[in-house]
Amino acid sequence: MAYARKRLSLVEYGSPVEVVQKIAAAIGIGRAEAKAMLMDAGNRAALSLGLGYNPISVSEKGARATDFAGLIRLAPSLELEVAPKFLGLDELDARWREDFFFLSTLSRHGRLLASERLLASGGTPRDLATLVARSLTGMYADLKRRPLRSYRRVREVDFYIDGDPDPVDLVLPSSEGFEQEVIRFDRWNSWNADIMGAAKALLPEVRDPTVVGSLVRLIEELSPQRGATSRRRPIPSRHQAWQPLHSLSLDVLDGLGLSYQQGRAHAPGYLVTTWRVWEDLLTVAARLGFGASVVMSQKGFLLGTKTRPSTGAVTPVSVYPDCVIESDGLRPRILLDAKYKGHVEKGRLRISESDVYEALAFAKAAAATKVVLAYPAQPRGALQETGACTIFERVQVDAVQIVGMQIEVRGISSRGALKRFSSFLADAVSHAFIY
């Protein structure tokens, strides 16, 4: 049975919060030990996300999280959740968790994982383990009509000849029958073992009876298996529809933070690098809004060269805007670049000087005069419609126009929200400039 857990919360880039004392009080340890536990969680997050620094800092004012979001286990009965800055943290509405999971799976796996099932229901709080389990079982239900089968060689003993027995055994069979090598085409394979292993890992973490029942049915239908494997064999092309489900299963098995064990430092939690999630969301939305044929992602453009005086070696200097939206005859080429930090300073929306300089470099290299810098909207005030775009600043440098735009992300997990987000983005980018 799943035990009751306590959860502490931070908002990425938010004001420091006194959580060290709360950790100490929650599990009955000293303040110094609680601080060490929190810093260790930050180190595990850094290791998981490839960061060269601890993204959790502790000062006299409290603890602060930067550059990541997600759920990380501090102790068997204590969790720390970090909400992305563009979703915020509303204790009255747990919807941000569904939005977060939707965006993170979109970013990690390149497609929506059971998006129709990620709908809020009456503001009922949902933990990430339940959301993962709902996606896992929902995807399996959609795919099980075309089972993930493979061929395997097995040795069996039976009086019914179904394979290749040894000639000696035909003359002198054992009391159980003829020993023979048989080729089976069934669901006994490493991929199904990984999926079943992920379901077993999720089972003690999920409290929703309906989801628990779905996990149990999945396990029963895929049994027996030889156990989850550490081998990462690619799924055959004929079964590529199963790839997202298998990828999600590997995430669970690799330490999604859903089965914490004291002292195991490689179970970091369900974490994402937030700027990468934002960049991936804009790329997917641009392709949906404008059409994949006119959107180029991370295309390199030559800006200039650099020379090393000691050797005379000359190397190119290239820049890589996130998205290049090619001209369709009615609009010119537009560069769309995802920006995550630094557009709110002292309560005022602005484009930072460094972002202006980078935009000018992009424009020069790509021979473009229109650049959109897209920032996630801050969760302040009334909730706008998902995808609502607001231009907050324009910069003109000779022929180059730079537009700063913030976009509402909250509610992205709702039915059809990604489509609306993409439509709003395409319309706002197309009409952002003064011609």
DSSP string of 336-404, one letter each residue? EEE--S-SEETTEE---HHHHHHHHHHHHHHT-SEEEEEEEPP--SSPPPTT-EEEEEEEEETTEEEEE
Residues contacting residue 189 through CB under 8 Å, at least 6 positions apart: 148, 149, 150, 152
Residues contacting residue 253 through CB under 8 Å, at least 6 positions apart: 194, 197, 198, 201, 228
The verdict on 181 and 194 lying in the same domain is no
CA distance 228 to 194: 5
| Token pair of 104 as six digits | 């993170």
Q: What are the beta bridge partners of residue 323?
A: 297, 336
Q: What is the pTM of this model?
A: 0.70
Q: Would you state the pLDDT for residue 269?
A: 52
The verdict on 377 and 287 lying in the same domain is yes
Q: pLDDT tens digits, residue range 195-237?
A: 998 899 888 878 888 889 999 999 999 988 876 665 667 888 8
- Chain Cα centroid distance, residue 351: 27
The verdict on 283 and 367 lying in the same domain is yes
The verdict on 228 and 108 lying in the same domain is yes
Domain extent, residue 306, equals 275-430
Residues contacting residue 311 through CB under 8 Å, at least 6 positions apart: none
The verdict on 297 and 261 lying in the same domain is no
The verdict on 75 and 97 lying in the same domain is no
The verdict on 78 and 10 lying in the same domain is yes
- Position 214, amino acid: S
- Chain Cα centroid distance, residue 247: 11
Q: Would you state the pLDDT for residue 230?
A: 53
Q: Would you state the pLDDT for residue 346?
A: 56
H or E, element range at 289:
helix 274-290
CA distance 171 to 148: 38
Q: Would you state the pLDDT for residue 319?
A: 93
Q: Would you state the pLDDT for residue 80?
A: 87
Eight-state DSSP code of residue 204: G
Q: Would you state the pLDDT for residue 231?
A: 60
| CATH code of the domain covering residue 367 | 3.40.1350
The verdict on 168 and 142 lying in the same domain is no
**Any domain includes 164:** yes
Give whole-number Cα distances, 57 to 31, 66, 372, 380, in Å: 15, 8, 33, 24
CA distance 435 to 431: 9
CA distance 27 to 41: 15
H-type alpha helices, 208-267: 209-222, 243-253
| Token pair of 168 as six digits | 């000696």
**Any domain includes 425:** yes
H or E, element range at 44:
helix 31-49
The verdict on 225 and 355 lying in the same domain is no
By residue count, the chain amounts to: 435
Strand 270-272 to strand 69-75: parallel, antiparallel, or no bridges (unpaired)? Answer: antiparallel
Q: What are the beta bridge partners of residue 335?
A: 324, 371
**Any domain includes 13:** yes
CB 133 within 8 A of CB 308: no
| Token pair of 335 as six digits | 């560069």
Terminal Cα distance for the chain, rounded: 64
CB 79 within 8 A of CB 70: no
Q: How many domains does the chain have?
A: 4
Of 186, 209, 239, the residue at which a domain comes to its end is 186
Collapsing DSSP to helix, strand or coil, 126 comes out as coil
**Any domain includes 435:** no
User: Which residue has tokens 């005859």?
Assistant: 329
CA distance 159 to 177: 4
The verdict on 4 and 37 lying in the same domain is yes
Q: Would you state the pLDDT for residue 173?
A: 65
CB 150 within 8 A of CB 233: no
Regions of the chain with pLDDT less than 70: 1-5, 90-94, 105, 107-128, 151-152, 154, 156, 158-178, 182-186, 227-232, 254-270, 343-347, 381-382, 435
Of 132, 165, 186, the residue at which a domain comes to its end is 186
Q: Would you state the pLDDT for residue 23?
A: 92
Question: How many other C-beta atoms are found inside a 10 Å radius of the C-beta of residue 400?
Answer: 18
CA proximity to 34, closest of 78, 90, 69: 78
CA distance 66 to 57: 8
Helix count and strand count (H, E) for the chain: 11, 19
CA distance 245 to 257: 18
Burial grade of 359 (CB within 10 A; 0-12, 13-18, 19 or more): buried
Collapsing DSSP to helix, strand or coil, 274 comes out as helix
CA distance 14 to 157: 66
The verdict on 360 and 251 lying in the same domain is no
The verdict on 259 and 162 lying in the same domain is no
Of 249, 270, 291, the residue at which a domain comes to its end is 270
Phi-psi region of 296 (alpha: psi -120 to 50; beta: other; left: phi over 0): beta
Phi-psi region of 137 (alpha: psi -120 to 50; beta: other; left: phi over 0): alpha
Q: pLDDT tens digits, residue range 140-185?
A: 988 888 888 776 676 767 656 655 556 656 656 666 666 777 666 6
